[in-house]
Amino acid sequence: ENIRRWNEENEYPKIIPAVPREFFEHMKDKYRNRFKRYSGDWAGAWTGGKQIVYPISTAMVRWARDHITAAEKIWSIDALLYGADYPAEEIRRVYELILTWLDHTQSPHTPEGRFTEEEMRRDARLRYGLASGAFSITNQLIQKGFKRLISGIEADKPSIIVFNPLSWCRTDIVYVCLSEEIIKRNFSLLDSESNMTVPYQRIPGENRIAFIAESVPPIGYKKYEIIFVDEPESFEKKVYANGNFIENFYYRIEVDDEGFISSLIDKAAHRELINRNSVFIFNRLYEKMPRAAGINPVSAGRARIKAISGPVFGSLVIERENSPQTKTVYTLYAKIKRIEISNSIDKSLLGCSEKAVGHFTEGQASFFFITCPFNLTDMDHVNVHIERAGFFLSCPDKSRLPGAQKQPFSHVHITDINEGGKYGLTLSTKQSFLCWFPGDPMLPIDTRRWSPRECTLMLAVCNNHKKYLTKDKGVVEFQWESPSIPIINIDYSIDTYMGQFNAVKASRMGWEFNVQLMSSFVRQGQSGPLKDASLSFLEVDKPNIQIITLKRKEVDSQDRFIIRLQEISEMEGDLKIRSYFPIKEARYTSLLEDPKEIKPSTTDPIKIKFKPYQTITLELCMKQKTSDTN
């Protein structure tokens, strides 16, 4: 946009943007084979400034990034089912907002005292607008598109439709809101495919229920029918909580009087997961003070513990008075091997330096993080796998470029820790992506060594600048995110396993924790073209291949769609792609969607070959299905 405006307003010089292909062709023609060659990752620690300075905006951008591809899939299905107008401009706008926000120009990293107060406040408003805009547009796209999608699912009885936007069959938790007339009555919940009764759990004080949806098809839906009965349903409690502990088939968690985890037992492995010899406490918030050598726990205040048991899930809810870590919830499920931990942190109660950040001062922000001291003590045989876009980095190894930072590190969703190929755990985060292990007594800042002294994973929360030196008004009270939005949420989950690291299982855990099953109530009597109890719109037959997105092609005709696939576990082989919609033609394209001459040999199903870590982009000419809905 800026280049276009410059060229319209100025005769000379004209700016000609070079796309990557043109740039690399120029470099190749000019320098031929005189380039030095390196292979490896440059790490992602430099992105940490986003996390600690803009934690709330970071959370919104991460959510939008994970869900915009779900919106693309949903609207592609709507276009093919109902002839719906594909919202190409809104989707393009979301990507533009995300990419602009991710640009490495955060103002706290420029020399202090260079900006006026108004310039700083304007910058903060614009940056928050980028993140909130991406979040709100994506949310609107999903809500509107999902409502349209389920409008064509036939329902003879009051029903709940569960949609899975990910590309593999999954079993996961569902929370759904029901109408007053439904929630006040006695009813059974029936799996329309198996005709089995499904246990559910009412949420106290709300019109919501929770249940476990089993085997929901990839990029597809499953229907559950509501059957009214005379007597209230009674289900056996599968998750039991009482006092300071909670337990299911897989795990047992105990918390101390302040609500922090004192014991976490993996029942199948008969193993304690908490390192009780560590100086750190599990899930506690810590502070690194400016210019101080030590690390201090943040005050926990007075804690109240509420225990919730149930047939579907159970929770320990900890609320703290006079503490920045105001609320913590530990949740276990009946049929899901996953521990979920949720923290609400009030940034307005966090400590900060009394000195201003400026050129002639020594003020630095206090830095806050949550610690997870795991009981994997054989550090000589601990391997760490860090999820990046489409692959995993392993540490320690030589997978990084010479001189690249090794700590702190950033991940997409998960960091996996494995002890000698015998036992491991996978930790997935939602809002935060910056992690590290304690190496030196001080925090590991820009370290190029990989030498963790214990298996304590630290999750970044934020820093707390409150005073800045400005160009025009001296020292002012200022924060890069508005004090009117003080709550920072830090949610993460943990899963454990026996044996070696599995890239497919780890990646799936991260995606499932971050992209939940979607659900909605459908009234009795709805008609439409979708009559199946469950249905997949698009699927692949190999677990190591993920369907990243299904979207309408950005240029040309209305009947052409793009499917992008990613191999994630360093394997090669043959792949079959099956579609609910008839495919008239398929051909390979570049990442920029330029068509190639090579075409798959068949289209029903599509059969192709894949290589390790390959990204495959296909252009599909798909036949639209249209039908009236009521």
Beta pairing, strands 251-255 & 534-536: unpaired
The yes-or-no verdict on residue 291 having pLDDT over 70 is no
Q: Which residues contact 89 (CB under 8 A, 6 or more apart)?
A: none
Work out the number of other CB atoms within 10 angstroms of the CB of residue 253. 25
Amino acid at 69: T
Helices assigned H by DSSP within 83-116: 88-102
The yes-or-no verdict on residue 233 having pLDDT over 50 is yes
The yes-or-no verdict on residue 63 having pLDDT over 60 is yes
pTM here is 0.92
User: DSSP string of 507-548?
Assistant: HHHHHHHHSPPEEEEE-TTB--SB--SEEESEEES-TTEEEE
Nearest residue to 621 via CA among 534, 546, 561 = 561
Work out the pLDDT band at 630, boundaries 50, 70, 90: very low
pLDDT of residue 354: 60
Alpha-carbon distance 147 to 162, whole Å? Answer: 12
Adjacent-strand bridge partners of 272: 265
Work out the pLDDT band at 563, boundaries 50, 70, 90: very high
pLDDT of residue 366: 80
pLDDT of residue 443: 47
The yes-or-no verdict on residue 355 having pLDDT over 80 is no
Nearest residue to 258 via CA among 301, 223, 290, 297 = 301
pLDDT of residue 38: 79
The residue with greater pLDDT, 439 or 268, is 268
Mean pLDDT over the full length of the chain: 90
Mean pLDDT of 306-335: 97
pLDDT of residue 441: 53
* Least confident residue range of 69-83, 387-401, 595-609: 387-401
Q: What is the pLDDT of residues 90-107, one digit of tens each?
A: 999 999 999 999 887 666
In the block, residue with structure tokens 């001291």: 373
* Least confident residue range of 108-112, 158-162, 623-627: 108-112
Nearest residue to 436 via CA among 465, 488, 395 = 395
pLDDT of residue 433: 93
Q: If you ran DSSP here, which 8-state letter would residue 372 be given? A: E
Report whether 301 contacts 320 (CB < 8 A). yes
Nearest residue to 273 via CA among 496, 451, 589, 606 = 496
**Residue 475, phi then psi, degrees to nearest 5:** -80, 130
pLDDT of residue 356: 56
* Least confident residue range of 21-25, 141-145, 614-618: 21-25
In the three-class reduction of DSSP (H, G, I as helix; E, B as strand; rest coil), residue 17 is classed as coil
In the three-class reduction of DSSP (H, G, I as helix; E, B as strand; rest coil), residue 367 is classed as strand
Q: Is 314 exposed, middle or buried (0-12, 13-18, 19+ CB in 10 A)?
A: buried
The residue with greater pLDDT, 415 or 16, is 415
Work out the pLDDT band at 176, boundaries 50, 70, 90: very high
* Least confident residue range of 70-79, 222-231, 269-278, 597-606: 597-606
Q: What is the pLDDT of residues 186-216, one digit of tens each?
A: 999 999 999 999 999 999 999 999 999 999 9
The residue with greater pLDDT, 448 or 348, is 348
Work out the pLDDT band at 611, boundaries 50, 70, 90: very high
Question: Which tokens sit at 26?
Answer: 């120029």
% of the chain at pLDDT higher than 90: 69
Report whether 161 contacts 150 (CB < 8 A). yes
**Residue 310, phi then psi, degrees to nearest 5:** 180, 170
Q: Which residues contact 42 (CB under 8 A, 6 or more apart)?
A: 400, 401, 404
Q: Which residues contact 28 (CB under 8 A, 6 or more apart)?
A: none
Report whether 499 contacts 421 (CB < 8 A). yes
Mean pLDDT of 72-93: 96
The residue with greater pLDDT, 478 or 239, is 239
Work out the pLDDT band at 61, boundaries 50, 70, 90: very high
* Least confident residue range of 32-41, 127-136, 359-368, 558-567: 359-368
What's the full length of the chain, in residues? 630
The yes-or-no verdict on residue 1 having pLDDT over 90 is no
* Least confident residue range of 38-47, 285-294, 389-398: 38-47
Alpha-carbon distance 454 to 396, whole Å? Answer: 14
Work out the pLDDT band at 395, boundaries 50, 70, 90: confident
In the block, residue with structure tokens 């009780």: 276
Q: What is the pLDDT of residues 513-557, one digit of tens each?
A: 999 999 999 999 999 999 999 999 999 999 999 999 999 998 766
Work out the pLDDT band at 584, boundaries 50, 70, 90: very high
Work out the pLDDT band at 358, boundaries 50, 70, 90: low
Opening angle at CA 80, ends 580 and 74, nearest 5:
85
pLDDT of residue 535: 97
pLDDT of residue 440: 54
The yes-or-no verdict on residue 255 having pLDDT over 60 is yes
Alpha-carbon distance 259 to 316, whole Å? Answer: 9
Give, in order, the Cα–Cα distances in Å from 88 to each of 74, 99, 102, 562: 13, 17, 21, 13
Give, in order, the Cα–Cα distances in Å from 64 to each of 225, 342, 411: 31, 20, 16
Q: How many helices (H) and strands (E) does the chain have?
A: 8, 37
Ordered domains of the chain (ranges, CATH): 537-622 (2.60.40.2220)
Asked if the bond preceding 486 is cis, omega within 30° of 0, the reply is no
In the block, residue with structure tokens 């994970």: 66
Alpha-carbon distance 36 to 38, whole Å? Answer: 7
The yes-or-no verdict on residue 220 having pLDDT over 90 is yes
